[in-house]
Amino acid sequence: MGFRCQDAHGENLKGSTFVPMLVSIPKTAILADSPDQFRHKLRLPRFAKPSYYELRFHPDLISYTFSGVVAITVDILQTTRFLVINVVDLTIDHASIHFKDLAPTEVVFFKDDQIMVLGFGKELPLGEGVLRMNFNGTLNDDLRGFYRSKYEYKGKTANMAVTQLQEVDARRCFPCWDEPAFKAKFKITLQVPSELVALSNMPVSSEIVDRAIKTVHFEESPLMSTYLVAMVVGIFDFVEGVTSQGTKVRVYTEVGKTEQGKFALDIGVKFLDLYNGYFGTPYALPKLDMIGIPDFSNMGMENYGLITFQVLDLLFDESSSTPAKQHEIANTVAHELAHQWFGNLVTMEWWTHAWLNEGFATWMSYHAVDYFFPQWNVWMEFLESTISTLRLDSLAGSHPIEVEIHHTSEIGGIFDDIIYIKGASIVGMLQSYLGAERFQKALASYIKKYAYSNANTEDLWAVLEAETGEPWKNLMSAWMKKPGYPVINVKQDGNEIQLEQAQFLLNGSSGSGLWDVPITLSCASSTKIFLLTEKYYKLDLCGKSEKEGSFSIKLNMNKTGFYHVKYDRELSAKLQNALEANMFSSMEKIGILENARMLSMARKDSLASLLYILYACRKEASYSVLTHIDDITSTIAQIFTDAMPKLVGDIKQLFIKVLIAPAEKLGWDPINGEADQDVSLRYILLVDLVKLGHDKTINEGVRRFNILTRDHNTSILSPDIRTVAYLSMMQTASSTNRSGYDDLRRFYRDSADREEKLRILGVLSYCSDKDIVLESLDLIFTNEVPNKDAIHLLEFISIDTREAAWSWLKENWDHILKVVPEKDLLWCIVNNIVPLFTSNDKAEEISKFFTNCTDPALQSALKRNLKMVNINMRWIEGIRTEPGLAQAVHALLHKT
């Protein structure tokens, strides 16, 4: 039968190579035996299933193209005359398409659905057959599919070829069934210039060199999803290690940078050994490669056996990388290695269940890093991430952990902190409730049962039910399928404790959500763990042996549960006393502080209650607690400018009283051998005191800056705290007293150090004098500030001059865009300007200003911050009407 090839309009196409016109067509009546029946479907049909891909690629790093051949073993499961596969941005040689001995009579592409429909002249025989075709593509610069990246080799710029196929970009690399559930085995061959290194998921099985070209054959992979296929081609060095079970681990680097790969190699070997034992199922591949890619859209990508990273998230330079960067590398490596089990060995059935990959990998990465580096206190970092996600999830319009997908274009947008951090928090909540040993055993059973296959959330709950005997499917349903989380209201009545749960929304509205909440509760010296499965619950905690009313109550131990707690007045007073007596861990203190902050913002508790809790922490020494206090006090001080301007001075003095002791203890000067956290905390506290108007700190900053201007080599100001001195100078600047401002500008011009210049630029607009701020912003249009640095002038804007800065931005918009990239400028406004406002009118004005912005990430961030503007406005209304607030501020201010 003759071959007929069509585009999406049904027109005949001639020629040996088919370059499809990918044009969307309107919805019309769909014929049952027409390719049109497969349009507008979220998922591929299930009448055929691939089991094996044999792939051959020839990338050309000069012309930025690649050619390929694919042979797919397909099992025909139901009667059909069609095959439907995913293809995007590939040129298909139609003459090469065959299934068994059949050539298709129809080849139709549907752009919006990203599919190619092959229609055959008769029904396909049931059972296995091989689908073959040739294809060509472009090594694009879009950082997805099969693309090109630049790197340095012998002092020159060279090109490498690399894949990034998650979530749905394998179809840009080769024709395939590009869904996680269509797992198959892969046999990959690469033809590359003989001097290049070719890497893929599996080890090399053979290599044949024919003059300038070598053909590299890789071993057959285990069953895996298409998005995990990986290839990298370039010139690299590597360092190598071996796990206790004999798995070869390599870190590939640019030539001459292998030393920087040793930290990732060391921890990679350790993490693999740890996971082998924890999951009870050994790593499935004979090797694991890790490589940094200069042009890369993610921190890391868990490709089976060949993990790709952003270079800065893999390589550690002991001479220049910071301890914070070392922590980040360890966390990223641990996360991607955890995916070798959660994601690769056991893969979510569909993207709705992506939390099974990301939530578990996130939680496991903290577990692994803490196991080997307990001194890093990474669970405190996780707590801070959880707190940030609690704020995000308390906003109206948040989404559930399990997100329904309606089109593949939506998949990338679901990967946010709800999936990663809330998902990980749910994992931690389960572990805390079940206990570490029972939890680990259940996870091992889950991994063993679904190894080399796919699972959904219900499959996980089924295993947990079998292991623990508890109905987890019903218990966890709300956590997965509803947005938000509860607040637990706690009241004490003698020895009886009364609990009531309600949905917590930061805008103060009432939600209908009800959750089964794993509760951890401490009472005196005892701890109780139980499930709160109803809206109301009562329990007798401490028994008759305890003196009534003498015990204190604390829920949500170490903030492991994804919920807030509101205590009644009596219990709250006891918590304040316990804080004063330093009876809680740092994690507990942060949990108490955050509960009080969120409840006050939602107007579910008074601001005075929050202030008393802050005051109880005035002798705090912990870095983590103090940085959290810093965040809260900065927010309140800003809010008071609009809420109670007459009380701003007093509230700032109160916060100085809270922060001054730890600041004076650290002082201005670094101490040999001090912890990195002390260096960071010194900067944070001194900046706080300057912004709060602490005269002694400001005067000291000015004094030290004046010494620095006379002697640039002086040690009077370490680089870590120079910004404090610069801010101090700006606090003294005004149109009538501009000598300090002029000195700072002169110091900027005289400095040859770009990092120093950026520090100064970052503070030049932080001043209460509008004219000084506008003069600083106008520097964007001068030769004094390079275009690439101009955005830093918008880094610090004082709330006192927000209106002037916003008006300047609007009036000079077109002129600014000639200097600053529009995307950078918009992000700066969203992050630095929008949070300064607290009125509906301003929120609407800013929203209109962004009408033409189409960047989904920017729009999402803008919506979040505009919601916070409205929440802050409502909070201000509550502060203004709160009885006794001024008296509470004065009482604390004068308390000894």
Instruction: Give the max Cα distance, the chain.
Output: 97
* 469 three-state secondary structure: coil
* Strand partners for 132: 71, 98
In the chain, count H helices and then E strands.
27, 28
Residue 402 designated active-site = no
**Complete DSSP assignment for 596-625:** HHHHHHTTSS-HHHHHHHHHHTTT---HHH
Token digits for 312?
């800065």
Token digits for 292?
């940094």
Who's near 409: CB < 8 A, 6+ residues apart?
none
Residues 692 and 655: their CA atoms lie apart, in Å, by 8
CA neighbor of 519 nearest in space, from 544, 492, 486: 486
Who's near 334: CB < 8 A, 6+ residues apart?
267, 271, 364, 365, 366, 368, 369
Who's near 718: CB < 8 A, 6+ residues apart?
669, 670
Marked catalytic residue, from 179, 336, 467, 700: 336
**Complete DSSP assignment for 277-315:** HHHSS--SSSEEEEEEESS-SSSEE--TTEEEEEGGGT-
Who's near 628: CB < 8 A, 6+ residues apart?
384, 590, 593, 594
Residues 154 and 195: their CA atoms lie apart, in Å, by 14
CA neighbor of 37 nearest in space, from 47, 27, 50, 23: 27
Contact 205, 217 (CB under 8 A): yes
| Cα atoms in the Cβ-side hemisphere of radius 13 Å centred on 107 | 27
Contact 461, 356 (CB under 8 A): no
Buried b (16+ CB within 10 A) or exposed e, 642-662: bbbeebbebbbebbbbbbbeb
Buried b (16+ CB within 10 A) or exposed e, 521-546: bbbeeeeeeeebeeeebeeebbeeee
Contact 490, 498 (CB under 8 A): yes
Q: In the block, which residue shows the tokens 């700006």?
A: 730
Ramachandran class of 154: left when φ > 0, alpha when ψ lies in -120 to 50, beta otherwise: left
Residues 7 and 24: their CA atoms lie apart, in Å, by 10
Contact 789, 758 (CB under 8 A): yes
Contact 809, 833 (CB under 8 A): yes
* β-bridge pairing 287-293 and 306-310: parallel
Residues 598 and 602: their CA atoms lie apart, in Å, by 6
Amino acid of residue 590: I
Contact 75, 49 (CB under 8 A): yes
What's the angle, vertex CA 42, arms to CA 40 and CA 48, rounded to 5?
Answer: 100
CA neighbor of 158 nearest in space, from 260, 286, 61: 61
* β-bridge pairing 48-60 and 91-99: unpaired
Residues 451 and 461: their CA atoms lie apart, in Å, by 16
Contact 879, 643 (CB under 8 A): yes
Q: In the block, which residue shows the tokens 């964007």?
A: 780
Positions annotated as catalytic residues are 336
